[in-house]
Structure 1
Amino acid sequence: MDRLVKADVKEVEIVFQRGKKCTTTFRLTNLMHTMPVAVSLTTQNPAFFSFNKPFSIIPPLSSSSYTLLLFQLSNQPPLTTPPDVITVKTTMLPLGKAHHDDLRRLFSKPGPHIFKDATLPISFVGPHVVEHLISSYTQVAEIDLFLNKAISGCTGNLLTGLLKSAVVSGKANLVRTLIDHGGDVNDKDSKGRSLISLAVEAGNFDVVNVLISSGCEIDNSVDHLLHYAAAINRVDLMEILFRAYKSVDINAVDFCGKTPIHIAASYGYTEVIRFCLSVGRNPEVLDINRCTPLHLAAQEGHLDAVECLLEASSYAKYALNKQGKTAFALAVENGHSNLYDLLHLGDALNRAARIDNVNGIKSCLAEGANVNGKDQNGWTPLHWAAFKGRIESVKVLLNHGAQVNLLDDNGYTPLGCAVEAGHVQVALLLIAHGTKANMKSLKIKGVVALNSDCFKDHPSLVQPLCHENEQA
């Protein structure tokens, strides 16, 4: 005979509840027609489990119920790998009677009279188990080992509630399993937002993918998905949302009138700013306070973001917010002196160089203007002064560290500008300060300019320029 008793289950399930003693019941049936059977029940972890009848006698062809008790109060189920099991041992009892101590002694002595009739795995089920898996487990294999059993004790509403926590946790496989077992992928939070909003806010790319593939729907009036992605500097999320939802709008505003590019600017996220610009976002858009993204970047002192926004719009630096302030004014208010040159002083310095305002140049430089700063065309103050023939301005700029060989966006140096405009004295001064003549500016512009009347009286200038131009 293979066994003496038969269990009514192949696995024993306990509905786990935090902080409570948890029990479950199963039955064993004596398969012998004429002989009583003695039964011994044990677990691998007696520190956690006990039985109402660890030893018992079952009459012939009769059944008996047994209660497994998880007697230790705990906030988490005692999950083990592999799971704990109940071992059912039996022996025939011809006399049909025995005291508890006799049975203990009987089963303590191994031998052919002892049968190992069953090994019943113990599973923990219910929402508290799933919550524990969501909050405490990180290994996919461990989660999968316990999850399918745990959710068997959960209704659809419970699964939907657990789904929200799983989405935030970032465990994509757990999210998929809960959805497959009845969790509502289109459930909303207290603000009416979709689950995908929660996933994007938490930055969980894999979970976002699962929700999209599971048919999660969005409401653009409350699901500001691109704003959430911008706030955590996640261009990858913005890209996948654009592909998945045709209704997603880069120009959408939140409750403060801010677009995703406003959000990115306030945090200084240049990657997101560039992405927004690449898909058609207007860098001069105003929020509810009439602030451009540049206002917000300047207010927070984000140098790279300011540079990025200025590349996209030269007008934005002059825009006034609701309080009548420019981005420069906000930078000054908040002490971000590293932005002064970009937002105002650079313009003022270039203007002073153009009109030969020497005192203005000195004042700008004293306030922190970059003597080698470039405008939207790559011209430095020295380019402007040279082109206009402002020799006094050129001298001041040179004395304050202006670099004579910087190239503009078309590859021209200040010398090239002076040559083209026919300013001999400026050209001589730049050469005296070490400028190089073998530049693109002389190849294209200088050959013509050097033949003009204004240079014919200065052979000392023409000869070296022509010589170096030929070498170039």
Structure 2
Amino acid sequence: MDRLVKADVNGIELAFIRGQKISKTFTLTNLMHTMSVAVSLSTKNPSFFSFNKPFSIIPPLSSSSYTLLSQPSNQPPLTDPPDAITVKTSMVPLGKANHDDLCRRFSKPGPHIFKDATLPITFLGPQVIEHLISGNTTISDIDLCLNNAISGCSGNQLTVLLKSAAVSGKTYLVRTLIDNGGDVNHKDSNGRSLISLAVEAGYLDVVNVLISSGCEIDNSIDHVFHYAAAINSVDLMDVLFRAYENTDLIESVDFHGRTPIHISAIHGHTQVIRFCLSVGASPDVLDINKCTPLHLAAKGGHLDTVECLLDASNYTKYALNKEGRTPFALAFGNDCSNVYDSLQLSDALNRAARVGDVNGIKSCIGKGANVNGKDQNGWRPLHRAAFKGKLESVRTLLGYGSEVNVVDDNGYTPLHCALEAGHVEVALLLIGHGAYAKFEESQRYRDEGWFEIRWL
């Protein structure tokens, strides 16, 4: 004999609702024509599940209904493997037995006990998926649990869950919810796309899934490059740029008139700025306060970012914002002394070197100016002083550690500059401090009274 009773279901499906009792009724039918059958019902989690009739007797060819009851819970009691109702049976020749007799009968295994059915317990509904999104479960068969839960959800519920999965970085859940009807082009209350939400949260894999699933963005609302810039993610920038192939997006402005470069400048995210520049974005855009990205980087004291922006644009150093202030003025107002040299002191030092203002040189260096700082042509203060023949300026700069053999963007050293301008004393001073250069013998130098020499 295969079994004594038959269940009317293959499993028990419970629509889980947080904080509420759950119940499900099923029927067992006695298959015996002349013999009553005793039934015992149990689960692995008796503290959560109970039955209205844990023990009963079913007369021949009769049926009996049973109700599985659950305790209220804040989360579905997912187990690994999933819980199930175990249906055990035993023949009752006399057709009668009291509760204690049945307890004793099923308390010990033996040939008189049959295991007629195992009815898996599954949980349905959005709150089960919310639990999976939260990550507070270690069950191994996520597929089974998720598919069961999805069967109890409406399309709108799947879409809401899709948003939660996207902002939580649950890539697999995002893909599954989309495959089962979640709307990939759902907008939040501010009109932002799921891609915006995933980018802002920094989940690259989720963004890739959304893009491949056809998620669309609205350029006027979805400032995806701004979000990527704010979290310093070049990887997200690259994925977005390749996906939408639109240079205008990377130069789009937000509600403050700021481009992604502005946002990066605020946070000092230099690598993001370099990426934006590499794909054609401009470093010179003004926001609604007429601030360039350099203004914002200077205000924050982000030295690497300041220097990157100075390399990208020479004139922005002198740009005035709405209040008529330069980047240096903003840095000074916020006591960001680490960027003074890049923004202004280097200019003052070059000017002092050029005019022979020794006190000015000392003052600038004392305030933190870089004695070897270069201008837009790669000239250092020593180049300036040598070219103008300012002997004391050269001497002072050398005394403060100027590199005597430093070269500009064209490969010229300060010695080249001195010779080109005909300043013999300066040239000799530089040579005395180790200057060298490679010159071919020149008729010009001989004609002008120079000593013949080849510096190697």
SS, match of residue 68 in structure 1: strand
Q: Which letter does structure 1 place at the counterpart of 2:320?
A: L
1:451 aligns with 2:419: no
1:237 aligns with 2:231: no
Equivalent-residue separation in structure 2 for 1:450 and 1:264 (angstroms): 53
Equivalent-residue separation in structure 2 for 1:455 and 1:314 (angstroms): 40
Any residues of structure 2 matched to 1:196-275 within 5 Å, and which?
Answer: 196-246=195-245, 249-275=249-275
Q: Which letter does structure 2 place at the counterpart of 1:237?
A: L
Moved more, 328-337 or 14-23: 14-23
Equivalent-residue separation in structure 1 for 2:139 and 2:235 (angstroms): 23
Q: Which letter does structure 1 place at the counterpart of 2:393?
A: S
Residues 27, 217 of structure 1: alpha-carbon distance in 2 compared, 3 angstrom cutoff: same
Q: Could you tell me which residue of structure 1 aligns to residue 169 of structure 2?
A: 170
Any residues of structure 2 matched to 1:361-400 within 5 Å, and which?
Answer: 361-400=361-400
For residues 346-370 of structure 1, the C-alpha deviation after alignment (integer angstroms, 9 at most, x for no partner) is 1111122112222322222222211
Do 1:419 and 1:449's aligned partners in 2 also have CA atoms closer than 8 Å?
no
For residues 265-306 of structure 1, the C-alpha deviation after alignment (integer angstroms, 9 at most, x for no partner) is 111111110111111111111000000000010000111111
Q: 1:61 Cα deviation (Å)? A: 2.2
For residues 312-360 of structure 1, the C-alpha deviation after alignment (integer angstroms, 9 at most, x for no partner) is 1000100000000000001111111111111011111112211222232
For residues 112-154 of structure 1, the C-alpha deviation after alignment (integer angstroms, 9 at most, x for no partner) is 1111011112112211111111012477955334211122211
Q: 1:453 Cα deviation (Å)? A: 3.8
Any residues of structure 2 matched to 1:45-124 within 5 Å, and which?
Answer: 45-71=45-71, 73-124=72-123
Q: Could you tell me which residue of structure 1 aligns to residue 303 of structure 2?
A: 303
Moved more, 61-70 or 327-336: 61-70
Q: Which letter does structure 2 place at the counterpart of 1:134?
A: I
Moved more, 321-330 or 228-237: 228-237
SS, match of residue 134 in structure 1: helix
Residues 70, 178 of structure 1: alpha-carbon distance in 2 compared, 3 angstrom cutoff: same
Moved more, 13-22 or 268-277: 13-22
Q: Could you tell me which residue of structure 1 aligns to residue 154 of structure 2?
A: 155
TM-score scaled by length of structure 2: 0.96
Moved more, 154-163 or 240-249: 240-249
Equivalent-residue separation in structure 2 for 1:167 and 1:272 (angstroms): 23
Q: Which letter does structure 1 place at the counterpart of 2:199?
A: V
Residues 374, 97 of structure 1: alpha-carbon distance in 2 compared, 3 angstrom cutoff: same
Q: Could you tell me which residue of structure 1 aligns to residue 354 of structure 2?
A: 354
Q: Could you tell me which residue of structure 2 aligns to residue 288 of structure 1?
A: 288
Do 1:140 and 1:173's aligned partners in 2 also have CA atoms closer than 8 Å?
no
Q: Which letter does structure 2 place at the counterpart of 1:193?
A: R
Q: How many residues align?
A: 455
SS, match of residue 249 in structure 1: helix
Q: 1:407 Cα deviation (Å)? A: 2.2
For residues 159-218 of structure 1, the C-alpha deviation after alignment (integer angstroms, 9 at most, x for no partner) is 111111101110111011111122111111010111111111011111111111111111
SS, match of residue 427 in structure 1: helix
Equivalent-residue separation in structure 2 for 1:27 and 1:408 (angstroms): 91
Q: Which letter does structure 1 place at the counterpart of 2:378?
A: G
SS, match of residue 275 in structure 1: helix
Q: Could you tell me which residue of structure 1 aligns to residue 126 of structure 2?
A: 127
Residues 130, 449 of structure 1: alpha-carbon distance in 2 compared, 3 angstrom cutoff: farther
Equivalent-residue separation in structure 2 for 1:144 and 1:368 (angstroms): 62
The gaps in structure 1 that reach 5 residues or longer are: none
Residues 328, 431 of structure 1: alpha-carbon distance in 2 compared, 3 angstrom cutoff: same
Q: Which letter does structure 2 place at the counterpart of 1:416?
A: H
Q: Could you tell me which residue of structure 2 aligns to residue 15 of structure 1?
A: 15
SS, match of residue 291 in structure 1: coil
TM-score scaled by length of structure 1: 0.92
Moved more, 407-416 or 365-374: 407-416
Equivalent-residue separation in structure 2 for 1:140 and 1:170 (angstroms): 18
Q: Could you tell me which residue of structure 2 aligns to residue 312 of structure 1?
A: 312
Equivalent-residue separation in structure 2 for 1:323 and 1:187 (angstroms): 42
Do 1:7 and 1:26's aligned partners in 2 also have CA atoms closer than 8 Å?
yes
SS, match of residue 304 in structure 1: helix
Q: Which letter does structure 2 place at the counterpart of 1:339?
A: V
CA RMSD of aligned residues (A): 1.8
Equivalent-residue separation in structure 2 for 1:140 and 1:213 (angstroms): 28
Q: 1:244 Cα deviation (Å)? A: 1.8
Residues 177, 137 of structure 1: alpha-carbon distance in 2 compared, 3 angstrom cutoff: farther
Do 1:143 and 1:174's aligned partners in 2 also have CA atoms closer than 8 Å?
no
Moved more, 378-387 or 352-361: 352-361
For residues 80-117 of structure 1, the C-alpha deviation after alignment (integer angstroms, 9 at most, x for no partner) is 11111211101112222211111111111321111101
Equivalent-residue separation in structure 2 for 1:151 and 1:186 (angstroms): 19
Q: Could you tell me which residue of structure 2 aligns to residue 330 of structure 1?
A: 330
Equivalent-residue separation in structure 2 for 1:420 and 1:119 (angstroms): 98
Kindly, what percent of the aligned residue pairs are identical? 71
Q: 1:231 Cα deviation (Å)? A: 0.7
Equivalent-residue separation in structure 1 for 2:137 and 2:89 (angstroms): 40
SS, match of residue 142 in structure 2: helix
Equivalent-residue separation in structure 1 for 2:141 and 2:433 (angstroms): 72
Do 1:382 and 1:414's aligned partners in 2 also have CA atoms closer than 8 Å?
yes
The gaps in structure 2 that reach 5 residues or longer are: none
Q: Which letter does structure 2 place at the counterpart of 1:212?
A: I
For residues 366-409 of structure 1, the C-alpha deviation after alignment (integer angstroms, 9 at most, x for no partner) is 22211111112221100111112111211121222222122222
Q: Which letter does structure 2 place at the counterpart of 1:78?
A: P
Equivalent-residue separation in structure 2 for 1:238 and 1:452 (angstroms): 60
